[in-house]
Amino acid sequence: MMSETPEAPERSALWAPAHSDCRPRRVGKSETTTRHGDWRLRQDDGPDVDPAAYVLVCRSEAEDGTVCGAESGPVPTTDEMREWARKHEWNHDDHRSFRLLADVAMVMVPEVEPL
């Protein structure tokens, strides 16, 4: 038999049920409450994980309506990604709209380690 669900805090538009037998979770945060405890999604920095890769794609349009589509190519850091955007904008004055594609290993970890 399942135990009673703890009283939930007063709900606002930012609260939604996490699961039918769980406490609510805050929408838009990287934390989720499950029936097994509180978990957080974070970047996996383990030794056997592939490094992150970021690609920035220019979404700016030319006067004829065509999208630029220039890509930074995979870069390992957000600093290199920003530098590519800066250089691209320098060479193309009106190109200020980009889309980020990221391949980043993520892992769910408990808020409190089980005993």
SS3 87: helix
pTM for the model stands at 0.60
Tokens of 91: 């060479």
pLDDT tens by residue, the chain, 115 residues: 444 544 544 444 444 444 444 444 454 555 555 556 688 899 998 999 999 999 999 999 988 889 999 999 999 999 999 999 999 999 998 899 999 999 999 999 888 766 6
**Number of other residues whose CB lies within 10 A of the CB of residue 69:** 10
